[in-house]
Amino acid sequence: MGTNSQSTTIMGTQDDVPAPAQLNEDTAVCIVSVKGLKENWQKWSDERQEYQKHNPFSHDTRPSAVVPLKEHDDYGRPLQGSMTEQRGKDAHTHISREVQELCEVIRNIGEPRDSDAGGSSSDGKVIAVEFGKLFEHYVTISNKLVGILLRARKQRLVNFEGEMLWQGKDDHVVITLLQ
């Protein structure tokens, strides 16, 4: 019964809380924790409600919700300094490293060939490798070769024929390193 009366006292009003001399160590920690939890929850709740007022996709249909305009530079971008923005920057850095690593692998296993009209080399030679050979070598490095190749082509670092490369079917497609 003694435990129940203490818990009733803790849940009561501030006036009902006994003096610190009457509390044991566990009870005092419990009061601070519950009060801290309540304050933290209220703070989070207030911040979330304020955020939802400005979120155009929430069900909160207050006229204060600002709808982003497509003409603005930040349209479709995460808020400056947000965790989402940081994750995007980290992902971009990671993918850029993988593209550079792919170019290095092509330099190492590729063969010099005469450049077609699109080559960037001044002596008319470019480094090229067949997709099948690159796939066999690169499979030990990463399982995302085709996606990285597409990204590298978008950045104009490599060139190859076709929209997509398929293992087996496109093994003889030549991939040319442009830079």
pLDDT tens digits for range 43-88: 999 998 888 877 777 776 555 556 677 888 878 888 888 899 999 9
pTM of the model as a whole: 0.56
Q: Identify any residues that bridge with 158 across adjacent strands, giving them in sequence order.
A: 177
DSSP string, 68-96: PPTTSTTTTSPPTT-HHHHHHHHHHHHHH
Q: What is the CATH number of domain 83-177?
A: 1.10.10.1540
Residue 149 is predicted with a pLDDT of: 92
Residue pair 124/115 in contact by the 8 Å Cβ criterion: yes
- Residue 27 makes CB contacts below 8 A (sequence gap 6+) with 6, 10
Where do the domains of the chain lie?
2-54, 83-177
Which tokens go with 162?
Answer: 């076709």
